[in-house]
A and B are shown apart, each in its own frame.
Chain A
Amino acid sequence: MTASTTTETVQTIIAELKDKQGALLPILHGIQNALGYIPPDSVPAIAQGLNLSRAEVHGVISFYHYFRDTPAGKHTVHLCRAESCQSMGSNALEAHVKTKLGIDYHETTADGQFSLEPVYCLGNCACSPAMQIGEEIYGRVSADSFDDIMNDLGADA
């Protein structure tokens, strides 16, 4: 996406949503949905659109774990770290995932394919361990099934 279309996308989203009550989160979601992240240079436009200071907008973006201000990989793996998944071996799975992808949490693989983020419960605790990639949720994930899923996703890269 070129710089000018990015700016346009941001402007369109702001124009569309700014009259909602409490519009900031819907706008940030809109931008992250469209672009995969919230480019720092969109902050002034958001601030202006909502009559806020840039510091306020920045403060909100940085408060929420879900919002990111750097591009993510093509696929973001949200791996559950919470108790139910721990009870079913997520710590070992986590170690496997990090080795397999060669990255730690909040990092992206060098080829730009995968980012890794921790998540604290996906509501999938009846089939732990769990992870989410995009809108897909995976249950009873093992090292082997993780590798299969990665291969499937990597294959259609």
Chain B
Amino acid sequence: MSTTIYISGDSTAISIGANRTAAAVVKEAAQRGIAVNLVRNGSRGLFWLEPLVEVVVNNDRVAYGAVNHSDVAGLFDADFINGGHHSLALGAVEEIPYFKKQQRLTFARVGITDPISLDDYLAHDGYRGLKNALASSQADIVKQVTDSGLRGRGGAAFPTGIKWNTVLNTPSEQKYIICNADEGDSGTFSDRMIMEGDPFVLIEGMTIAGLAVGANQGFIYLRVEYPHAHKALNAAIAKAYEASYLGDNIQGSGKKFDLEVRLGAGAYVCGEETSLMESLEGKRGLVRFKPPLPAISGLFGQPTVVNNVISLASVPVILDKGGDYYRDFGMGRSRGTLPLQLAGNLKHTGLVEIAFGMTLRELLYDFGCGSATGRPIKAVQVGGPLGAFVPESQFDTPLDYEAFAANWTVLGHGGVVAFDDTMNMAEMARYAMEFCAIESCGKCTPCRIGSTRGIEVMDDIINNVDREKNVVLLRSLCDTLLNGSLCALGGMTPYPVLSALNHFPEDFGLDAV
């Protein structure tokens, strides 16, 4: 009988040696005449423990981590195949507090199943949501999603059910479902992890969306920086077609849904939904004026649902367990769970899916365990490159869209990047302007020209050239960006810039307030 061993095939796990560890396990097992069945699962999301090795012993999974390839022979010597004791032994992942305290709804299967095994997916509650959807009316599917309180996880937090309802009620021969898998926000990787670790859940969510609004064609617009996700999605899509979960006659229902992955080409602005549609149409990614809303006139002028990966991947559990089940997690108008991504200078980086409502401080210290460097955390940037820098004085803010907005901060896609006290926030403000200049689509003047001007102004401030005067200029530039930009790239660049200036004036050479 062969022993099943799980070693993550997640690209971050690979980036720190999971492939070398896997190769060492296979080699060592062969040399010792031990039969192993190696499964490359998604990551459990506890990255300080990657490469994580899990061995199935009497139907339980026993974990060891972080396992370097050079540790492998020692693990065999310790009889880890039978759960033997070793200094890297962790017991069951489910009992590690970082994991145990989470509420994994959207990420329920990630790290547990073989990502591209349809049998595994079905054995772990996969396609139950679709089954219910096939037995429901379109309006009822949309109602479940509306009742769940799900709001878009791509950044703007718009209620998903309302968007779907608009598309449902806009008559057209052709409608589209677009999955926004551009995941351009720095500090975020939940889309990547779920696409690599459980691609079927996204496919199922998009299929349900197609049924709900009457769209028979879906596109996943995937950033080109994600080659592993690309492979996993294509492999899963091929299997879904083979088993009639995609195609002309989904599970004998007579309903049709086709799905294709399209690659982006390194433009951050193409994550903005109208720019994304221009790109899918084969054009430069210039942001469109709204209205018309994409829900009414989107891709190729047709009614289109554009949703983030996590929004769509949360739909199957909602259709499986009901909108009420999902809505019972969370606080205020932020319902359900948010997969947070702990990044940057933290000891325990990783994925934390949890109901809205926990404070940022709990997240940073109870989960993140403080900075990796051991120095004080000076600030965190939440919500990607257009998110504000949050100072320590605001760490008690609950993770909730409205509570964040009240502080002039954003939760966005849930990325949390920590910085220690060696970081200079004026440099970060300069970088934010530079990023805006590099990524601007060029359609509006404040963003195109103002950002370049902003870099110069920041340089002058940093170099103490007419500092006071330039700070006034910087504020007025930010005002123009805030009020005169067509999209949030220009419109929100002031968030990191002004939050850095307001909370860390001493880094700008100004007196603290």
Contact = CB atoms under 8 A, between A and B. Distances in A.
Given A82-B186, A83-B381, A83-B431, A120 B344 contact: no
Interface of A is mostly: mixed
Nearest to B46: A126
B385 interface: yes
B422 to A, nearest CB: 9
Interface in A55-99: 56, 59-60, 63-67, 78, 82-88
A138 interface: yes
B417 A83 contact: yes
Contacts of B96: none
A87 B184 contact: no
A137 B12 contact: yes
A-B pairs, top 9 by smallest CB distance, nearest first, are A24-B282, A66-B266, A139-B15, A82-B186, A64-B265, A125-B343, A87-B344, A65-B266, A126-B349
Interface string B162-189: 0000000000000000000001111111
Interface string B414-435: 0101111001000010010001
Nearest to B420: A87
Interface in A19-34: 21-26, 28-29
Contact of B189 (A22, A124, A140): A124
Contacts of B263: 25-26, 29
A139 B11 CA distance: 9
Contacts of B262: 22, 25-26
Contacts of B385: 82-83, 120
Contacts, number: 150
B11 A120 contact: no
A59 B12 CA distance: 34
Given A123-B225, A127-B349, A83 B187 contact: yes
Contact of A23 (B227, B282, B341, B423): B282
Interface in A110-157: 119-128, 130, 132, 135, 137-140
A132 B415 contact: no
Interface of B: 11-12, 14-16, 47, 50, 183-189, 191-192, 224-228, 262-268, 279-285, 300, 341-345, 349-351, 372, 381, 385, 415, 417-420, 423, 428, 431, 435, 438-439
Contacts of B14: 137
A23 B282 CA distance: 6
Interface of A: 21-26, 28-29, 50, 56, 59-60, 63-67, 78, 82-88, 119-128, 130, 132, 135, 137-140
Nearest to B285: A63
A140 B68 CA distance: 14
Nearest to A64: B265
Contacts of A132: 225
Nearest to A118: B438
A121 B187 contact: yes
Given A127-B349, A128-B343, A135-B227, A64 B267 contact: yes
Contact of A119 (B50, B266, B281): B266
Contacts of B266: 64-67, 119
7 contacts: A29-B224, A63-B285, A64-B264, A120-B439, A126-B341, A137-B15, A140-B15
A63 B188 contact: no
Given A22-B280, A137-B15, A126 B189 contact: yes
B56 to A, nearest CB: 26
A105 to B, nearest CB: 11
Contact of B267 (A29, A65, A85): A65
Contact of A50 (B267, B282, B342, B439): B282
